[in-house]
Chains A and B, each alone.
Chain A
Amino acid sequence: MAQPTIPNDLDFFYDFFLHTKSAELTYIYRGIFTQAIIKHILSLTETNIDKTGESVKVKKRVYLIMVEGLQNITRHQELKEFEKKNQAIFLIQKIGSQYHVTTGNAITNDRIEMLGSQIEKVNSLNEDELKVYYREVLTKGKISDKGGAGLGLIEMARKSGNKLLYKFQQVDDRESFFYLRTEIFSEGEGSPQVEPDPNALEGIEGMQNILEAKNILIAFNGIFSQESLLGLLSIIESQMADNKNVYNIIVEMLQNIVRHGISATENPSGNEAMFLIREQKGDYLLSAGNFIKRSNADKLRERLDYINSLDDKGLQSFYNLKLLDFETNDGKESGLGFAEMRLKTKKKLLYCFREVDDEFSFFTIQAAVPVIVES
């Protein structure tokens, strides 16, 4: 049976990679936030921050601010399962010695005024005043029906020692998108209080537009290693528990990056790369992009074209041959991984090469796996 062809739009991948590359680490989750997913987002980020050798204090601050931000989303998200637009996003970036935690979620327009004034109030207070205010709200505060009372906002300001950045982007007469960013310095208490750039959230709309247009559910841009891979996998396992195919293919893709990718900046801890999960017309589109030597591009293209050219029977015998090829046993052979991806997806693998400079190309590969609809 002929499969409907998925258009190759992978050219956007490298542009989005550059868009998020200003940070050493970018992790984006967009969609429905459940407790299980939050738990895994937290543990993934924890793993990644652990590796940076950050002090316990900074780690805990980042963690607590993430918890507040994520819970803010769950408290206010209305579960619009079928509405793909205006889904909540969570974004963490490491930029130099700072961590930026950004959340974005739809709120009804009638809440804008109250939220805005709560944040302004928090931003107007210094450290000591915040402490007093916190106690005040805690003991006799007006608890909102969602259990918030702005305590989360106060905590985020206290833990970061910074002003909160926010922005309301009107969607329609009923709803707006509410962005909230907290910037945390990793230098500890001695760090000077730097006023956050009030225009910092201007770029977020552009990113949000790409996320929506391409229906990106998960983006991870950073250094890939076996540890970060395991963190990503635990999220995917909780989110797509009934879709082992997705899991298996992601393992192959990510390990391809770890094994064959190269670092364009000679980063010793792993390879800079990006991984995306998108959803489109009943398929999960899993794509991974990394740098390769330009001189290796032709060989890789040939191998992929060859694997794509095989029919079911040819593919299976190629796979069997590679599986039993004990002569090559250095764990480096990649034909097996590509063949496995094709066998599992039953579709051709889409790919894209982009020449970056004289030495490097950026290679993107995508596999499509049907979304399993629960009956």
Chain B
Amino acid sequence: MEPLIIESGGDTPYVNFNPGTNTFLIAEKSLPANAVEFYEPVFAWITQYLKDPNENTFFDFKLDYFNTSSSKQIARFFKFIADSPFKERVSVRWFYEEDDSDMLDSGLLYAKLIDINFEFIEY
């Protein structure tokens, strides 16, 4: 499957999903005015990918900031994983900066609300 690469746009995150190298990263800031529109191609891509994901897939979320309209799209992202028959092959690695307890809390909330594999990594 072709990788999905979206360069960061200042208010939109950097996305690099590459099944070939088995690396899946979403990073920087997610503050788009229209989060629904931004995440549309991302959802199209993962819908396809989740039909046959790599055995050990780690989606790395390494965000500095995200707005509430993105928070909902991120929840949808995790829901796509939860609804996949291959959800056991997939994990989310939630990165948070040392001292950024807000970012950790946001991740913990997702882990509580959506039943998929989560790991938390301080950096």
Query: Which A positions have Cβ atoms within 8 angstroms of B?
Result: 226, 230, 233, 244-245, 247-248, 251-252, 255, 258-259, 320, 322-326, 329-331, 336-337, 340, 344
Contact = CB atoms under 8 A, between A and B. Distances in A.
Given A324-B75, A324-B113, A326-B79, A244 B65 contact: yes
Contact of B67 (A245, A255, A320, A329): A255
Nearest to A248: B65
Interface stretch (B15-23, B30-38, B50-58, B86-94): B30-38
Contacts of B102: 244-245, 248, 344
A326 B76 contact: yes
B119 interface: no
Given A248-B102, A324-B75, A324-B113, A226 B33 contact: yes
Contacts, number: 62
B46 to A, nearest CB: 15
23 contacts: A226-B11, A230-B11, A233-B31, A245-B102, A247-B65, A251-B31, A251-B67, A252-B68, A255-B31, A255-B33, A320-B113, A322-B72, A323-B75, A323-B113, A324-B75, A326-B72, A330-B36, A331-B34, A336-B69, A336-B72, A337-B69, A340-B68, A344-B102
Contacts of B103: 244
A109 B36 CA distance: 58
Nearest 10 CB-CB pairings of A with B: A226-B33, A331-B36, A336-B68, A337-B68, A251-B67, A340-B68, A331-B69, A323-B75, A251-B31, A331-B34
A230 to B, nearest CB: 6
Which interface residue of A245, A325, A329, A331 has the most chain B CB atoms within 10 A?
A331
Interface residues of B, number: 24
A331 B35 contact: yes
Contacts of B32: 226
Interface string B79-122: 10000000000000000000010110000010001100000000
A343 B36 CA distance: 23
A320 B33 contact: no
A255 B32 CA distance: 9
B94 to A, nearest CB: 15
Which interface residue of B11, B36, B69 has the most chain A CB atoms within 10 A?
B69
B76 to A, nearest CB: 6
Contacts of B35: 331
Contacts of A248: 65, 67, 102
Interface of B: 10-11, 31-37, 65, 67-69, 71-72, 75-76, 79, 100, 102-103, 109, 113-114
Contacts of A233: 31
Contacts of A226: 11, 32-33
Nearest to A338: B68
A258 B79 CA distance: 28
A336 B70 CA distance: 11
Contacts of B36: 329-331
Nearest to B31: A251
A85 B21 CA distance: 58
Which interface residue of A244, A325, A329 has the most chain B CB atoms within 10 A?
A244
Contacts of B34: 331
Given A255-B67, A324-B75, A326-B79, A230 B10 contact: yes
A324 to B, nearest CB: 6
A346 to B, nearest CB: 12
Given A259-B33, A323-B75, A252 B11 contact: no
Contacts of B109: 320, 323
Nearest to B35: A331
B93 to A, nearest CB: 20
A137 B69 CA distance: 56
Given A255-B31, A329-B72, A336-B72, 20 more contacts: A226-B11, A226-B32, A226-B33, A230-B31, A244-B65, A245-B102, A248-B67, A251-B65, A251-B67, A252-B67, A252-B68, A320-B109, A323-B71, A324-B75, A324-B79, A324-B113, A325-B72, A329-B76, A331-B35, A340-B68
